[in-house]
């Protein structure tokens, strides 16, 4: 009988240790910065201005705007002044009626299905 009680307590103890390890692991991962932040810190100081211009010419204004804002948020990256000017141009093009019309006319038509 004492062996059975001791065995139950041992198994419960092992289970509690496993749960405690899982909780510790989750708390440790939660304290780390997100993976994307760790990846962004390893990116070298690259001049993204040609990439922003290329995205803008392709009509991918949202991606170009995000990339220019990324450059603006990191002062150690080259091309900060150009990125600020490009951000203003992209925002102006997004808000202009001519830019909206141009993007609408280039958009792919929505296929109509027969009901």
Residue 113 forms part of a structural domain: no
Clarify whether residues 14 and 39 are in a common domain: no
Q: Which domain holds residue 65?
A: 35-104
Give the pLDDT confidence of 26-78 residue by residue, as tens digits: 877 777 666 666 666 666 677 888 888 898 888 888 888 888 888 888 787 88
pLDDT score at 11:
95
Flag whether 12 is in a domain: yes
Q: Are 26 and 47 members of one domain?
A: no
Residues 5 and 53 reside in one and the same domain? no
- C-alpha closest to that of 71 among 85, 61, 83, 53: 83
Structural domain total, the chain: 2
- Asked if 48 and 83 sit in the same domain, the reply is yes
The size of the chain, in residues, is: 115
More confident residue, 24 or 40: 24
State pLDDT tens for residues 71-99.
888 787 888 888 888 889 888 887 776 66
């Amino acid at each position: 009988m004492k062996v059975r009680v001791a065995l139950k307590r041992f198994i419960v103890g092992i289970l509690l240790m496993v749960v405690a390890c899982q909780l510790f692991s989750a708390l440790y991962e939660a304290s780390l910065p997100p993976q994307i932040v760790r990846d962004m810190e390893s990116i070298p100081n690259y001049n993204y201005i040609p990439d922003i211009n290329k995205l803008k010419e392709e009509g991918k204004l949202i991606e170009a705007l995000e990339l220019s804002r990324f450059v603006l948020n990191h002062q150690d990256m080259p091309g900060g002044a150009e990125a600020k000017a490009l951000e203003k141009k992209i925002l102006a093009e997004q808000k202009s009626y001519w830019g909206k019309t141009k993007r609408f006319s280039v958009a792919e038509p929505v296929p109509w299905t027969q009901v």
